[in-house]
Structures are given as C-alpha cells and as structure tokens.
Amino acid sequence: ETKLWKIEDITKNSTQIEAAANLLKKQEVIAFPTETVYGLGADATNEQAIAKIFEAKGRPSDNPLIVHVANKRQIDQYVSNIPDIAEKLIDAFMPGPLTIILSSNGVIAKNVTAGLSTIAIRIPDHPVARHLLEACQLPLAAPSANKSGKPSPTSATHVYQDLNGKIAGILDGGNTGVGLESTVLDCTSELPIILRPGGVTKDQIEQVIGTVMIDPALAKTDDQPKSPGMKYTHYQPEAPLWLVDGDADFFQAQIELNTDKGYKVGVMASKELAALLHTDNIKTCGTRANLNEVAAQLYETLRAFKKSDVDLILCESFEQAGVGDAIMNRLHKAASKKIKQSLSPDETSL
Ligand code: TXA
Ligand code: MG
C-alpha cells in the first residue's frame, strides 16, 4: 500500500507533492529525493511520526536523525544559537550537501536527537525536497531511506525494494546527483569537527571557515581482516565486499586466487582499472579521473551485485582526496576484508 508518485515536472506535479505533504501532516512517513540520497521523512516535531521512521528502517534508536528545513530562517526556530562560523557555512553551502550540528532549543522531538542536546540540520538542494518542505510547512527528520545496514538509496527503485509496504509513499524524482550523504560537521565545539565526510569536501569547508578537525574515529579504518561471512552493518551489499589496495596486476592475482578457491568473484572498479582486468563479472562505477562520477554510482553499483551471482566482491580503492574521502569512508565500512599490496623491495629502499 505504499503510494508511488512520479515527479517528472515539478510545476505540473504539484498535486502529487501536495498529497505527500498532507500525509506528512497526518504523521505518516514519506520517502523523497534529495541531492545526496533519498530520505525517509516525517514531522520532526512529532514523536509518534518519528517512531515510524525507526520502525520502517529497523534503525537502532540511539542513532540520531538529520532535520531538513526549507530555508535559513527555519534553522533559527530549532537551535539555541547560530555561531559565526555556522552562519558562514550556511551562506556558503546551504542549500547543499552539508549538515551542521548545533545546540537544540528543544522544539524538535526527543527521539530525533536520540536524547542529545544538539541537533543535526540541513537544507537539501533538490527541487522535490524543497517543494515538499514548503508544502507541508514542517521540519522533516529524514535518515537515508534504506533498510538499516544496506547501501543508501539513490533511486526510488532502491527505496521501493527496501521499504515497500512499510511506508505511506515514495516521491520518485529520478536518480540523485551527488550519490553520497551530506558531510556532517559538528559546530558546537571551538574548532568544528567533521563527523562524517560527504558531499562537501574538507577543503571546501576550510576555504570558508579555516581549519577544521576530523573526528579521530574516522581515521580508524580497522585493517584487521574479518571473515567473509561475518556480519557487518553499514552500506552492506548482498555479498561480502573485499577492498583491494594495489595495482592492476595485484588485483588480477586476487581475482585468480579466489576464483581458483572456487569462489564466484565479482569486481567493482573504475573504467580505467576495468580495462586492465580479465574477468567476466565486472561492474564499473565511473572514472578515476572524476571521483564525483564514482560517488554518484557507488551505491547503485553495490546494490547491483546479487547473492545468486557472486560469493564475494573485489572492490577498487580510490584516492583519498576531495570526495574520495567520503567514497573510501563508505567502502571501508562496507568492507568485511581489506587486502593491501605490500611494497616491492625497491620501493621500500627509497
Ligand atoms: O545526505 C544526507 O545526509 C541524507 C539525506 C537523506 O539528507 N541523510 C542521512 O541521514 O544520511 P542518516 O540518518 O543516514 O545519517 C545521519 C548521520 C548519522 O551518522 C548520525 O549519527 C548523525 O548524522 N547525526 C545526526 N544527529 C546528530 C547529532 N545531534 N550529533 C552527532 N551526529 C548526529
Ligand atoms: Mg544512512
């Protein structure tokens, strides 16, 4: 009974957006596109509505949600104050893929913030999201609209696959552009801290407000190999993902080694690496020369590998610069095993 509204033209489809907004006003949960990934929205001031989000996703209740608002004025309504740096960030990046953490004034429902005194807030840069926010006149708490643990949804089809029958409706605005979630920046401390790398890069932020810190927890990528069957909980494709860090010859050797062991091996790579590999199950996710392309295709490619086709996925490692930070953050979380090429003797002797 999940309603599906296709939004092809924002000016001609306002009745569909009104219908979705009316359900939101009745404490229902609606999925909608943002420029990053699809969100699962509900009235951020209503505890019952928010409880339905956690229920539909199977999300642990101690993980707080991001509040989405239509404009800068609305941010004022939910925070106790806006520090100067936050003011600058809002002017520079909103609407856009940046979420800032500020002190809450208590208007937002307690289960949105998981009991914290702070709230995460952003202005999405997508015409459907913005029309929806205007139409319902509510702040919308919205996590990514996937089943907890799976890759985030970048199309309405992904949302449908995960949540059909569990939510009131889905606004289909086509594929999202950025493809990775917003950058989460804590602005409550003296020096702002990046809690999650995302669509806005560290460099871009530093150009506006100067030095920012990175949450030390992000540096811990856990290089301890885990068994392929081990359960993991983030951005999880249907088959275990092994992250391979090495050149094309090393990658090819990993394909052959695991094929010889009897595994059906899938490969996820840039078109540059794909051109150098010999294997029959390879899915490309854009070009290394433009990591924005990789970001946009990452989750869709992860979702495209089916349990019935592959026992494991060998995935390329990307350069950790610019949006590559966010890409590698997600891949490290998705990976159950990391395989690194050791340096050759002449390299180590340098
Ligand atoms: O791009 C996005 O941010 C998407 C779209 C739908 O807007 N949303 C999204 O939400 O990725 P979600 O729930 O999947 O991730 C929210 C992140 C989590 O890592 C959560 O822990 C963090 O934001 N967060 C939310 N409130 C917080 C708070 N008060 N303090 C620290 N972290 C917070
Ligand atoms: Mg999520």
Q: Is 111 in the pocket of ligand 1 (CB under 6 A)?
A: no
Q: Is 59 annotated as a binding residue?
A: yes
Report strand pairing: 183-186 vs 193-196. Answer: antiparallel
Which of 85, 303, 317, 59 has its CA nearest to residue 185? 85
Q: Is 34 in the pocket of ligand 1 (CB under 6 A)?
A: yes
Q: Is 143 in the pocket of ligand 1 (CB under 6 A)?
A: yes
The number of the ligand 1 atom at minimal distance from the alpha carbon of 59 is 13
Integer-rounded Cα Rg, in Å, for the chain is 21
- Testing ligand 1's pocket by substitution, the residue of 37, 80, 181, 182 carrying the most ligand atoms inside 8 A of its CB is 181
In this prediction, residue 329 carries a pLDDT of 95
Q: Is 144 in the pocket of ligand 1 (CB under 6 A)?
A: yes
pLDDT tens-digit readout, 132-156 = 999 999 999 999 999 999 999 999 9
- pTM summary value: 0.95
Given a cut of 50, is residue 231 above it in pLDDT?
Answer: no
Name the β-bridge partners of 282: 267
pLDDT tens-digit readout, 18-50 = 999 999 999 999 999 999 999 999 999 999 999
Q: Which amino acid is at 227?
A: S
Average pLDDT, stretch 172-181? 98
- Testing ligand 1's pocket by substitution, the residue of 62, 98, 144, 236 carrying the most ligand atoms inside 8 A of its CB is 144
Given a cut of 60, is residue 226 above it in pLDDT?
Answer: no
Q: Is 96 in the pocket of ligand 1 (CB under 6 A)?
A: no
Report strand pairing: 30-33 vs 169-172. Answer: parallel
Q: Is 130 annotated as a binding residue?
A: no
Identify the residue whose tokens are 């190999």.
Answer: 225
Q: Is 139 in the pocket of ligand 1 (CB under 6 A)?
A: no
CA triplet 327, 190, 63: central angle to 5 degrees? 50
In contact, 66 and 208? CB cutoff 8 Å: no
Query: How many Å separate Cα 226 from the centre of its chain?
Result: 23
**Buried/exposed 7-29: b ≥16 CB within 10 Å, e otherwise:** beeeeebeebbebbbebbeebbb
Per-position DSSP letters for 267-290, written without gaps between them: EEE-HHHHTT---S-EEE---TT-
Cα–Cα distance measured from residue 185 to residue 120, given in angstroms and rounded to the nearest whole number? 9
Ligand nearest to the CA of 64: 1
Q: How far is the CA of 42 from the centre of ligand 2 (A)?
A: 15
Cα–Cα distance measured from residue 199 to residue 185, given in angstroms and rounded to the nearest whole number? 12
